């Protein structure tokens, strides 16, 4: 019989094994991923497919056997993407073919092969293959990781000792799948340098994904190796195929590796010799500290990264930075905190805690402090300042002159009256005292009486023996002080002009251009229409910055008895050092002030001195005769200089 006609096994009765894809990812036991995920690293070339050896034909009529690789979207019909002929007899063993690289597009595919033996075709079992080219979070930059809430922004030495690590949470991201992994980095700077080594990696299980518990174990060793200060955690996501996401946003946190503060002593609040905190203490301090202070003595494990938080009667003060080289530390207590629990009298509990990183120590032992900020009279916005501008201003009147805030020579030897209204809410045991100029002791006093009410008019007496200590002062300060035996307040100052005893010895001014007979006439030089000069000679009473006011008055007659209306002239001069030493001159303008004295008129001149530090005096008057009429009756003037000077 012809061998070519010999009976043979029918090929289509055989079952062909699945193709094999070496690039499919395997687990630790060597089992392929059930979805047939192919490693991303091989997708830049054709995908290798291993076709297991099949029953090769021994039919001499078949000169070749053809293998076709089928590659199509999952569930679609067979589509050949690669054919390869094998001449018969086919060499024993598995055959290696490929899927062209251009077919390796993201998706899930059915992979199989077809064997064609002389027109007799048979197909293998299908292998599921997944091509994954999309990284976790779909190419988007992952969000910054989240630290445990209890850290409150700082990883502390205590936390690391207790937990040994920090579990940092990765926020949910798109396309999450089991076996995704995160590689994370620990950097001192943001942005992260490219050569930063990995701090670890974590693979996420299906349970992690379902429970949204994607935690990165940042180890104690890594944290301590990075040292103290601000640090940043970054991570990259990788899926099972090996697709890589962009670097995540940073997640910053502080690191404090010093041990927790321990053995906190009670705070110390220095008290004044009065034994409590009062308004004077709030202004000046117990011993010139310029305020109420809380003193913190040295405690264990103090570090410059720590902060003191003082609790004053339930109110936390502004944090105080710790300087381990400057114990005891001093924290000033503001007025708002001092009075937050009322003006007293009462006591307040004071303690403190230490903030180290995001943690706080337990409170220190408490200290009890007495205080009393009550006052006689109304309070004010600038408290605890001694000056209270809200207190009524007093007024001073002389017994004889009865002028507001002025005492004159008419009041010589007499007491003065002080008028004011009583402060708000007067209470028995409160009083006020009036102070007069530089006199140290009170000039007068008023003790609150039963039935007194706010605004009650008061008239107090300042005795002459107080007043006579400073008889001359153009701005004598007078004020009063309220007192409740604990705290005091001062009223605004009233400036009182005290002119009881004038300054003596002020020389009479002169008219240096008058004739020997005391005349200013048509022939004087300079001519009187150029202005009349008044000379003020130097005086021992003159000092720089004193005020001298020169006055000149014109009269119709030679006896200076009939003043000419409108001719009064004055000039004020603040003395320079030279003028105080050598005197000075002023010139009275001709028009208005000199021109009206035509025939046998006159003028008088004097000056007053007001000392810069108080005190007042007046010179005697000097008289000069003024005539511009010649015996002929002709009148000289700026347009008629008729003096015969031959």
At 127, the pLDDT band (50, 70, 90 cuts) reads: very high
Question: Residue 611: what pLDDT?
Answer: 82
C-alpha span between 265 and 267 (Å, rounded): 6
C-alpha span between 415 and 458 (Å, rounded): 16
pTM: 0.54
- Phi-psi sector, 270: left (phi>0), alpha (psi -120 to 50), beta: beta
The answer to whether residues 154 and 256 touch, using CB atoms and an 8 Å cutoff, is yes
Q: Which residues contact 559 (CB under 8 A, 6 or more apart)?
A: 602
DSSP-assigned letter for residue 232? E
Q: Which of the listed CATH numbers 1.10.3210.10, 2.40.30.10, 3.40.190.10, 2.60.40.10 matches domain 279-371?
A: 2.60.40.10
Question: Residue 645: what pLDDT?
Answer: 60
**Beta strands 80-87 and 64-73, pairing class:** antiparallel
Q: For residue range 341-390, what is the model confidence (pLDDT) as tens digits? A: 999 999 999 999 999 876 789 999 999 999 999 999 999 999 999 999 99
Q: Write the CATH number of the domain with boundaries 395-499.
A: 2.60.40
- Residues 236-275 as b/e (b if ≥16 CB within 10 A, e otherwise) read bbbbbbbbebebbebbebbbbbbebbeebeebebebeeee
Q: Find, among 111, 114, 93, 94, the residue nearest to 103 by Cα.
A: 111
Question: Residue 235: what pLDDT?
Answer: 98
* Structure tokens belonging to residue 343: 């003006």
Helix, coil or strand: residue 13: helix
3-131: in CATH 2.60.40: yes
At 186, the pLDDT band (50, 70, 90 cuts) reads: very high
Q: Find, among 528, 524, 505, the residue nearest to 593 by Cα.
A: 528
149-256: in CATH 2.115.10: no
CA of 217: how far to CAs of 137, 169, 300, 340, in Å? 21, 9, 31, 47
Structural domain spans, the chain:
3-131, 149-256, 279-371, 395-499, 519-626
At 410, the pLDDT band (50, 70, 90 cuts) reads: confident
| Backbone φ and ψ of 211, nearest 5° | -95, 5
- Phi-psi sector, 242: left (phi>0), alpha (psi -120 to 50), beta: left
C-alpha span between 527 and 624 (Å, rounded): 15
The proportion of the chain whose per-residue pLDDT surpasses 90, expressed as a percent, equals 86
Q: Which residues contact 41 (CB under 8 A, 6 or more apart)?
A: 242
C-alpha span between 403 and 38 (Å, rounded): 109
Residue in this structure with the two tokens 């008058």, named with its chain if needed: 514
Q: Tell whether the model's pLDDT for residue 246 goes beyond 90.
A: yes
Q: Tell whether the model's pLDDT for residue 613 goes beyond 70.
A: no
DSSP-assigned letter for residue 376? S
**CATH T-level assignment (fold) for domain 519-626:** Immunoglobulin-like (2.60.40)
Q: In the chain, count of helices (H) and strands (E)?
A: 7, 39
Q: At CA 412, angle to CA 409 and CA 418, rounded to 5? A: 100
Q: For residue range 270-324, what is the model confidence (pLDDT) as tens digits? A: 998 899 999 999 999 988 889 999 999 999 999 998 999 999 999 999 999 999 9
* Structure tokens belonging to residue 586: 């002023």
* Structure tokens belonging to residue 181: 């992994």
Q: Tell whether the model's pLDDT for residue 11 goes beyond 60.
A: no
Establish whether domains 3-131 and 395-499 are of one fold: yes
The answer to whether residues 232 and 255 touch, using CB atoms and an 8 Å cutoff, is no
Q: Tell whether the model's pLDDT for residue 1 goes beyond 50.
A: no
Helix, coil or strand: residue 380: coil
| Backbone φ and ψ of 149, nearest 5° | -60, -35
Other Cβ atoms within 10 Å of 306 Cβ, number:
23
C-alpha span between 371 and 275 (Å, rounded): 9
């Amino acid at each position: 019989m012809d061998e070519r006609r010999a009976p043979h096994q029918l090929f289509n009765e055989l079952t062909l094994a699945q193709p094999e894809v070496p690039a499919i990812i395997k687990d630790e036991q060597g089992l392929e991923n059930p979805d047939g995920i192919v490693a991303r690293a091989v997708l830049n070339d054709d995908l290798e497919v291993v076709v297991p050896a099949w029953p090769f034909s021994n039919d001499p009529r078949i000169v070749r056997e053809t293998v076709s690789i089928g590659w199509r979207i999952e569930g679609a019909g067979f589509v050949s993407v690669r054919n390869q002929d094998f001449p018969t007899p086919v060499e024993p063993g598995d055959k290696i073919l490929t899927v062209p690289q251009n077919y390796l597009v993201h998706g899930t595919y059915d992979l199989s092969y077809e064997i064609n033996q002389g027109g007799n075709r048979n197909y293998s079992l299908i292998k599921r293959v997944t091509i994954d080219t999309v990284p976790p979070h779909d190419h988007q930059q992952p969000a910054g990781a989240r630290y445990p809430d209890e850290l409150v922004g700082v990883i502390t030495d205590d936390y690391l000792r207790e937990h040994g690590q920090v579990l940092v949470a990765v926020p949910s991201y798109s396309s999450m799948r089991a076996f995704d992994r995160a590689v994370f980095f620990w950097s001192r700077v943001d942005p992260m340098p490219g050569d930063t080594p990995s701090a670890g990696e974590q693979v996420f299980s299906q349970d992690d994904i379902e429970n949204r518990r994607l935690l990165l174990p940042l180890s104690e060793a890594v944290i301590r190796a990075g040292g103290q200060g601000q640090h940043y955690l970054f991570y990259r996501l990788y899926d099972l195929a090996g697709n890589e996401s962009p670097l995540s946003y940073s997640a910053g946190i502080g690191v404090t590796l010093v041990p927790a503060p321990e053995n906190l002593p009670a705070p110390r609040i220095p008290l004044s010799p009065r034994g409590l905190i009062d308004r004077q203490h709030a202004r000046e301090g117990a011993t010139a500290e310029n305020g109420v202070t809380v003193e913190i003595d040295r405690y264990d494990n103090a570090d410059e990264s720590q902060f003191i938080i003082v609790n004053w009667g339930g109110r936390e003060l502004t944090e105080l930075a710790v300087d381990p080289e400057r114990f005891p530390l001093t924290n000033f207590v503001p007025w708002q905190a001092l009075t937050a629990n009322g003006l007293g009298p009462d006591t307040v509990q004071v303690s403190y805690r230490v903030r180290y990183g995001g943690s706080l120590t337990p409170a220190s032992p408490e200290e009890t402090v007495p205080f009393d900020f009550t006052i006689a009279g109304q309070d004010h916005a600038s408290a605890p300042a001694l000056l209270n501008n809200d207190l009524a201003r007093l007024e001073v009147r002389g017994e004889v002159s009865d002028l507001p805030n002025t005492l004159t020579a008419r009041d010589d030897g007499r007491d003065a009256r002080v008028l004011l209204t009583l402060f708000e809410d007067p209470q028995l045991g409160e009083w006020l005292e009036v102070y007069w100029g530089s006199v140290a002791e009170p000039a007068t006093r008023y003790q609150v009486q039963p039935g007194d009410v706010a605004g009650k008019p008061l008239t107090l007496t300042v005795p002459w023996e107080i007043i006579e200590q400073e008889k001359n002062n153009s701005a004598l300060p007078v004020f009063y002080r309220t007192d409740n035996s604990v705290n005091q307040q001062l009223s605004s100052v009233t400036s009182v002009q005290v002119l009881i005893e004038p300054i003596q010895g002020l020389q009479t001014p002169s008219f240096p251009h008058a004739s020997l007979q005391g005349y200013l006439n048509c022939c004087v030089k300079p001519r009187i229409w150029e202005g009349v000069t008044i000379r003020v000679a130097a005086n021992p009473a003159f000092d720089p910055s004193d005020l001298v006011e020169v006055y000149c008055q014109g009269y119709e007659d030679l006896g200076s008895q009939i003043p000419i209306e409108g001719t009064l002239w004055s000039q004020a001069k603040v003395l320079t050092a030279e003028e105080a030493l050598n005197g000075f001159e002023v010139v009275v303008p001709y028009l208005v002030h000199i021109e009206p004295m035509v025939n046998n008129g006159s003028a008088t001149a004097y000056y007053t001195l007001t000392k810069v530090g108080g005190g007042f005096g007046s010179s005697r008057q000097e008289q000069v005769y003024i005539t511009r009429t010649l015996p002929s009756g002709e009148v000289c003037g700026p347009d008629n200089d008729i003096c015969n000077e031959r």
